[in-house]
């Protein structure tokens, strides 16, 4: 009987310690696994949102490039209107210096079937006025075409600016979601920290209790061993 007491003491103590460690290990691993899975899911969402933000930045950059191109085209068209205006004014100045035959010649070139080869001197002011009106008409036609182009380009710029605004708003939404997720993660980490603190305190208590119980069991078994 005395020979069995010492091995029995060792077996009981080992079983107590191993059982206590296994229980704590299972509880902690389960908690850590659940927490890690949630954090991984949140991190995946954040990465997806950040990737989407990068795509939106690229889209915004391309829209800005297109806007710069439209600005250049608009500037070119506006310069074209200035050129047409100068050309019309120059043409009108030349008309003032035309002689009657030159006026008739210019009108014949424009309307070969409707003009006469023998103008009356009294008709020269009328011919000059008509020629100037025709020059202004030509300039007005070219100006209308250019201004239609300007309107079209301006409308395209408005569409681009609206698209940029939409992309920025979508980016803002993504940033807010990322901020909300990170706030959730911080809260989860705080909870995890508190749980870890409680588990640590529990483990300390169990360790002390295990030592105490082990000491008691060892003392009892030792007493039984000695008393027999």
**Cα separation values, 119 from 92, 95, 97, Å:** 20, 15, 16
Question: Helices H, strands E: what count in the chain?
Answer: 3, 0
For residue 158, the tally of other CB atoms under 10 A from its CB is 10
**What are 105's two structure tokens?**
């010649």
pTM of the model: 0.57
- Cα separation of 88 and 95, whole Å? 11
Mean pLDDT computed over every residue of the chain: 78
Query: Among 66, 79, 87, 98, which residue's Cα sits nearest to residue 136?
Result: 87
- When pLDDT is cut at 50, 70 and 90, the band that residue 22 belongs to is low
For residue 106, the tally of other CB atoms under 10 A from its CB is 19
pLDDT single digits (tens) 26-82: 455 455 777 788 888 888 999 999 999 999 999 999 999 999 999 999 999 889 888
pLDDT at 122 (0 to 100) = 45
- Choice between 117 and 164, residue whose per-residue pLDDT is larger: 164
pLDDT single digits (tens) 166-181: 999 999 999 999 999 9
- Choice between 170 and 215, residue whose per-residue pLDDT is larger: 170
- Choice between 97 and 186, residue whose per-residue pLDDT is larger: 186
Q: Which domains, and CATH codes, for the chain?
A: 2-227 (1.10.287)
């Amino acid at each position: 009987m005395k020979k069995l007491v010492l091995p029995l003491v060792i077996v009981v103590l080992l079983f107590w310690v191993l059982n206590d460690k296994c229980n704590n290990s299972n509880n902690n691993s389960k908690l850590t696994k659940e927490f890690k899975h949630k954090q991984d899911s949140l991190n995946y969402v954040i990465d997806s949102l950040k990737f989407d933000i990068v795509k939106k930045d690229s889209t915004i950059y391309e829209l800005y490039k297109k806007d710069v191109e439209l600005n250049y085209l608009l500037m070119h068209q506006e310069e074209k209107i200035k050129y047409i205006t100068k050309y019309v004014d120059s043409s009108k100045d030349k008309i003032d210096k035309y002689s009657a035959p030159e006026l008739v010649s210019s009108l014949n070139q424009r309307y070969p079937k409707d003009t006469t080869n023998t103008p009356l001197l009294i008709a020269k002011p009328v011919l000059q006025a008509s020629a100037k009106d025709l020059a202004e008409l030509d300039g007005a036609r070219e100006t209308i075409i250019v201004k239609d182009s300007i309107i079209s380009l301006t409308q395209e710029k408005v569409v681009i600016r609206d698209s940029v605004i939409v992309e920025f708003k979508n980016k803002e939404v993504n940033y807010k979601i990322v901020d909300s997720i990170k706030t959730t993660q911080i809260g989860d980490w705080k909870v995890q920290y508190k749980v870890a603190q409680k588990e640590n305190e529990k483990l300390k208590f169990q360790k002390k209790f295990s030592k105490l119980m082990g000491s008691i069991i060892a003392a009892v078994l030792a007493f039984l061993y000695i008393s027999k």
